[in-house]
Amino acid sequence: MNSRAEARGASLDAIKLAVAIFLLVIGIFAFYYFASISTLLRVIGLLVISAGAAVIAFQTERGRLLWQFVADSRMEVRKVVWPSRQETLQTTLVVVVMVLIVGIVLWLFDMVLMSILRFLTGQGG
């Protein structure tokens, strides 16, 4: 009996997801089909249809799992200790200086190798 209920729930979830995808496809088609109507109205209509599709999709098991993942992610982001403005500027400055140093070293290395190659091939003056 339990496997029947799970199978029925899974098929209902599949139908809900199919309806949500169908709504999105219809909304996108309508957005381009009614190109003569104001862009603002078309965007509002597309947003409304997308919200409806999202509501339907979040009624499925996968939708609930996705919503739980988003909620957990937001909770973890709140725990992050973000750097101050000064720390960010200092780190950015260190990265820029290191990129310049590595670029100059690679440029010099390239010049040395090119000189060696020209000497070996006899193309140098």
Instruction: Indicate the domain borders of the chain.
Output: 1-80, 82-125
DSSP secondary structure of 28-55: HHHHHHTTTS-HHHHHHHHHHHHHHHHH
The answer, yes or no, to whether residue 6 has pLDDT greater than 90, is no
Task: Compute CA distances 122 → 85, 111, 115, 119, whole Å.
Answer: 55, 16, 10, 5
Contact in structure between 23 and 56 (CB atoms under 8 Å): yes
- Residue pair 53/20 in contact by the 8 Å Cβ criterion: yes
- pTM value > 0.75: no
Per-residue pLDDT of 55-97, as tens digits, reads 999 999 999 999 999 999 999 999 999 999 999 999 999 999 9
